[in-house]
Structures are given as C-alpha cells and as structure tokens.
Structure 1
Amino acid sequence: MTFGGFVLNTTADMKLNTRQKQVLKTIVEEYVKHSLPVGSAHVVEMLPFSVSSATIRGDMVELTESGHLAQPHTSAGRIPTEAGFKDYIETMLYEHKELSLRQQEVLSTHFKRLKNLQERFKEAARMLSELSGSVGLLMDDANQIYMSGLSKLPQLPEFRDEEFGADFMELLENPAESFKALMKQTSSQPQVVLGKTSMVVTKFGPGGRQVISVIGPMRMSYGKTLPAVEYIAKILNQDF
C-alpha cells in the first residue's frame, strides 16, 4: 500500500541532505507536540546521532533561507513552514508508516461489533478524532455528515488565530461542498491538503463516493493521522 500525494503550493526547492532531513523532522515533530519554536540546543539533544551545535545552527539557517523553517522572533528558535511540513510528509510517505499490528487488531475487533452502517460511520469519525487529536469527518454518498471532535478546537493554540478560526468554521458550516470539490481531485489513497486549515482525506466505498477526513491545523500529527485514515477506510471498504 502507498499513500497518495498533495494538494499544495510551495516555493521551497532546496534538496535536503540526510542530516538536514533529520533536523527538519525533529523540528516538525517537536513543534507538533508543543506548539513552540524549537532551538538548536534542543535539536542537538533530540537527534539520534552526535553533531555539534554549530553544525545544527548552520543547517537551521539554511533551512530558513530555503523556506522550510521560519523564525517568529529574533531570539526564538524555528518553526516549520508549509514547505517544511511538505518535505517532512513526503519523507514520511516514502517510509510509509502504518498503524501497529496491535492498533489494527483493536480497531478491526471494535468495528466488527458494530453491525449498523450508520453506527460504523459515527464511530469512524470518532476514532479518527481520537487518534489524530483533531476533527474527524465522514460524508456518505447521500451527503450525510458524521463529525466528531469539535470540542477539541478551543484547546488548539491556532484557534486564537482569527484567520484559522474563520477558515475552519467556514469549512465546517458546509463540509459537503468542501468534500464535493475534493472528490474531483483526490484518489482512492489518502491525500494531504496543506494550509492554515489542513486535511488528510480519502475516498471509500463503491465508486469512491464516500469520504473520510481529519481536519485540523497545519500543526497536525501526520504520523498518526495518515495511517489512521488509511486503515479506517480499509475497514469501511469491507462493508461494500
């Protein structure tokens, strides 16, 4: 199995070496966890190999100049940009991490207990929200929306950003229209749509007329979300 691709515009075109990819990976994952700029000293501590702080500072300067990182304040560390998230996700897709066998077994057993299709759809949205920490949505072929995780929104630091909040609420007010547009451009494999409001989305069912998605800020745990969306879609496909 392989994941799908991106709907994304970005200007960064620097080819990263192995160390720079690891530096970017570390900064992205620490930023996803803590929503704070990441300094070079912390990166050195987190790297799985020994390297000098000066070398890492140099890498971070290059990654900033290339558009992969941004420095929100003069004295602060770095945060990943949209281009930084894109390169991080591309590397992760190449490695193609899946849910653990234990997680797959738990999900499969859980869904087998739900005989009603509507119950399974509701539970799919709930499980996606739980696994991702964001909003889980499912739209069936009658444009019925199943949604879970709205209560998580006020807890997100990004929700204080008026633009993010407005975009998110606009999408949630009419998700059917958003999904209709996405269905014209997404494959049957999970896709990443990056922006202030980001999505991991895939189609399932006969003719790919049904959609499941996780919607959240760009600072999303893609390492958890992508394999969760893929595996739950696989489970739901067994109903058809």
Structure 2
Amino acid sequence: MLEPRKKQLFSSLIAEHIRSAAPVGSRVLAENPDIRKSSATVRNDLVELEEKGLITHPHTSAGRIPTAKGWKYYIEELMQEQQPAHKAQEQLARIASDKKLEVQDMLKSVARTLAELSENASIVAFSRNDVYYTGLSNIFSKPEFSELELVRNMSEVIDHLDEVVEKLFQSVKPGTHVLVGQENPFGADCGAVIHKTQAEGRERMFGILGPMRMNYAESRGLVTYTAKLLTN
C-alpha cells in the first residue's frame, strides 16, 4: 500500500502521536532523524497519506492524527510486537505461578499488574456475565479524556460491560486480537488488545483497554506474554 519512505513517515507519525497525544505537524516529522526530508516533501507525503484515508486533520489543527483505518494498517502491516521488559516478565511470572492464589484471584492480580505496566485499564472475563476491570483512572487521566464526551462514552461502556463482553465472546476466536475503531465494542474512540482462551468447555478473556493512540506494540507484547504464562 505504501512505498518504504512513506511507511517510515507514517510509522514516525504514529510514534510521535502515541508519545504526545497531539496532532503531528510536518515540521516535527521533518526534524526526525529517521525521515531526513524537507518540510515541503513531508507535507506532500502527508497529503497522500490523507488521501489514502490513513490520517486526518482533527478540527482546525495543522497537524495530523491516524484514522481508525490508519491504525489498522499500522497494526497489521508495520507494527512489531514489543517484548515486555525483563522486570515486567518477572512480575507477571511471579503472580501466574503463585500456588497460594485461587484462579480468579490470580487473574485479578494479573489484570491489576497489566493495568499498572501498560498505564491503561485491564479486564478479565471469567465468563460472559462475570467481569472484573481495573485501571480506569489510568484511562481518564489521559489527555484525550479531558473531553467530557469521551468520558461519557467510556462510562456508558462500563455501565454495560457485561453486554460488551458478551459480544466479544460471540465475535472473536481464541487467540490474541487487536481491536480499533468500529470493530471495537468498547467504543470507536478506544483501542483494545484482548486474548480469549477456550479449554475444557470454559471460555475466559483478558486484555488491555486504552485510548485509540494506546501503544499497541507494547500492549500486545504484554498480553501475548501473559497468555503464554497462563497456558503453561
């Protein structure tokens, strides 16, 4: 879909938007040592990315942000899953191997740790109508959620969390899934990395929930690593 130079530009825009939570301008990208192009060249490339539906102008800002289509392209074509740091691996492994904990208590502790490590929210669904969530304060502290409408939308999702999880159990297969935009039942303004297991006739689900600009590479790495621990 994109030639190498524009893939690099788009990846750099994604990284800067994740870091800053703000629209990204051509000057910032032109100053990136990985780009090494003039502001005029960068502006022209951004126009092409916008024409392809990968980025957009929010409101009257001169900068751009990825669209849901852009995030999906990045996740499927460009993103490299990030292995959790050694300390994070040890922390998760210690909880998953704690024989003193009942399964539900262990999974709740895993969820709290994932929320802490990702600085987002985390959920565990023990069944279709038994859901535990934690870390909402992490989400509501993000710059995006200074907008009252986003807070209201997320609050409505939490109020109907059992219904949202029911949809997920019906729609996703066992394995790890990254959900963005309209395909994300947690809301079009959010992103989610979810892992579903199915064994001995019992389904469970856990994952990380954050804003649309969440660090998907890091979050998927955390969820993938945790899934391996729980499987073993």
TM-score tier by shorter-chain length is 0.7 to 0.9
Asked if the contact 1:137/1:147 (under 8 Å) is kept, the reply is yes
Alignment of 1:69 onto 2:60: no
SS at match of 1:190: strand
Please list every run of 5 or more consecutive structure 2 residues that lacks an aligned counterpart in the other structure: 181-187
* Aligned-partner Cα distance in 2 for 1:96–1:118: 28
Corresponding residue for 2:231? 237
Aligned residues: 223
Give how far 1:201 is off: 1.1
The answer on whether the counterparts of 2:17 and 2:24 sit within 8 Å (CA) in structure 1 is yes
Q: Is 1:145 equivalent to 2:145 in the alignment?
A: no
Please state whether the residue corresponding to 1:179 is helix, strand or coil: helix
Give yes or no for the alignment of 1:108 onto 2:93: yes
What are the ranges of 5 or more consecutive residues in structure 1 without an aligned counterpart?
1-14
Please tell me whether residue 175 in structure 1 is matched to residue 168 in structure 2. Answer: no
Q: Matches of 1:145 and 1:106 in 2, distance apart?
A: 23
Q: What is the aligned partner in structure 1 of residue 184 from structure 2? A: none
TM-score (norm 2): 0.85
Residue 202 to residue 166, structure 1, CA distance change in 2 (3 Å): same
Higher relative contact order (CA 8 A, sep 6+): 1
Change (3 A) 1:208 1:35: farther
Displacement of 1:125: 1.1
Counterpart for residue 201 of structure 1:
194
**Alignment partner for residue 38 of structure 2, among 52, 56, 66?**
52
TM-score for the superposition, normalised by structure 1? 0.83
Q: Which moved more, 1:53-62 or 1:113-122?
A: 113-122
Partner of 1:9: none
- Please identify, of 174-183 and 199-208, the stretch whose mean Cα deviation from structure 2 is larger: 199-208
CA-CA distance at 1:104 after TM superposition:
2.7
1:164 is matched with 150
3-state SS in 2 of match to 1:99: coil
The one of 29, 54, 67 equivalent to 1:81 is 67
Does the residue aligned with 1:191 lie in a helix, a strand or coil? strand
Is residue 2:208 matched to residue 1:214? Answer: yes
Question: Percent sequence identity over matched residues?
Answer: 34
SS in structure 2 at match of 1:184: helix
User: How big is the shift at 1:200?
Assistant: 1.4
Give me the CA root mean square deviation.
Answer: 2.2
2 CA distance for matches of 1:208 and 1:231?
21
